[in-house]
Structure formats: C-alpha cells, structure tokens
Structure 1
C-alpha cells in the first residue's frame, strides 16, 4: 500500500465512490423521467468502474508483478468503457430526437 500517498488514495477511493453514486443517480433519473435510454448510460459506465477498481487493486498490492495482468484488464476496460459511453450517448441523443419529433406533432 506504499505505492501511493494518503492524499492520492483519498482521490482514488473517492473517485470510485463518486462514480458509483453517478451510476445510481443516472439510473434513478431514468426511472423518474420514464426515459429508459438513461439506463443505457448507467450500464455503459460499468466498464470504467471496473477499470478504476483494477487500478486501486493493483496499487493496494504495491504494484505487484504477479498482478500485472490487472494493468491489461484496466486498459481493456477503459477502451470498452469509452466505446460503451459513446454508444449510450448516441442512444440518449436518438431517444431525445424522437421525443422532440413526437412533441412537435402535438
């Protein structure tokens, strides 16, 4: 656990907690508004959360060589997470566009 300073650990852990809270709040927003496309965003955020947990785990064990595979997993989850966030953003945009078209016809 000596790989990171205490302030850096605070940043890492609080970022993970904030990300979990954001996932939950976005999911709730989708429920409240009845717009399920927001659920895709909260699900799309999960690979990035896994990536952050990989980084914290690797640092917790002092960047041990036997856990070096976590670095590969972290990079893969970051790439996957960026792609899933792109798709979720497009999905929300598409849903809002169809919502705008439907409301303009009223």
Structure 2
C-alpha cells in the first residue's frame, strides 16, 4: 500500500488543461453601432407611444423636483427626531420644561405636514386653506416654543438661586 502511494507521488502529473484563446473585446465600432441601435430603438418606442399616454406621465409645471421632495421629507423627519430627543432629555433629567418644549414643537410639525400635503396635490387651488392653516400653525408653534423656552429659562434660574448660599 505504501509502495502505491510512493509510485503515485513520483508519477508525473498530467499536463494542465489546454485553454481556448479568449476572444478580444469588441472594437469601438461594434460598441458605437450597439449604442446607436439602442438609441434608435428608444426613439422609435417614444414616437410610437400615443400622445395621451405621454400626457398622463407629464407632471404640471409647478410640481416639486425629487431633490426638493427629499429636502421636505428629511426636514419633517429631522423635526420629529428633534421632538423625540427633546422629550427624552426631559425624561432623563426630570425637567418638565423640556417635555413642554417638545409639546410646543407639535404645531410646527402640523404646519410642515400642511405644506407637504399641499405640494403633494400640486398646489391645488381647492386646497388653499392648507396655506392659511400652515401660517396659523407656524405662528402658534413659534409662540408655544417661546413660552416653553421661557419656562425652561425660569426653571433654570430657580435652580441656580436655590443652590446659592
């Protein structure tokens, strides 16, 4: 048995498998023809589409762009996150004024939702009431946040006065 292993170890190994030569990559002329063929096909497909089908896909001139929507949505998400963080700070520190600030931020969130809803429906004239509601919620939110900030300031002043000798 050991002699068979020795013979197998000393035996020459078979030659590596022969590789087929690889085809060279297509030339620039082939690529250019493929690109022009694809462009022609896309142009023909667009020309074949009926005008009503294309009109159904078109958005009004006052539609928001994708980057503008990204700013709107991320701003609302950022505001909700700020509200949650302010609330958590109030919970951890035991200072109720910070929870009040979080509540004071709610009308401004409502105003942001009014703006997003109005834009979602392409600034429809039938929803003009949302513009007025957004303005009212913004004023209300600014007042409630001002009151909450003043309460936090007063609470911090009372805390400093009680610690002084």
Q: Structure 2-normalised TM-score?
A: 0.62
Q: Distance in 1 between the 2:163 and 2:121 partners? A: 54
Consecutive unaligned residues in structure 1, runs of 5 or more = none
Structure 1 outlier segments of 4+, above 6 Å: none
Q: Distance in 2 between the 1:30 and 1:104 partners? A: 24
Structure index of larger Rg:
2
What RMSD, in angstroms, separates the aligned Cα atoms of the two structures?
1.1
Which one of the candidate residues 125, 133, 155 is aligned to 1:65? 125
Match of 1:31 in 2: 91
Consecutive unaligned residues in structure 2, runs of 5 or more = 1-58
Which structure's relative contact order is higher, taking Cα pairs within 8 Å and 6+ residues apart?
A: 1
State how 1:1-106 maps to structure 2 within 5 Å: 3-105=63-165
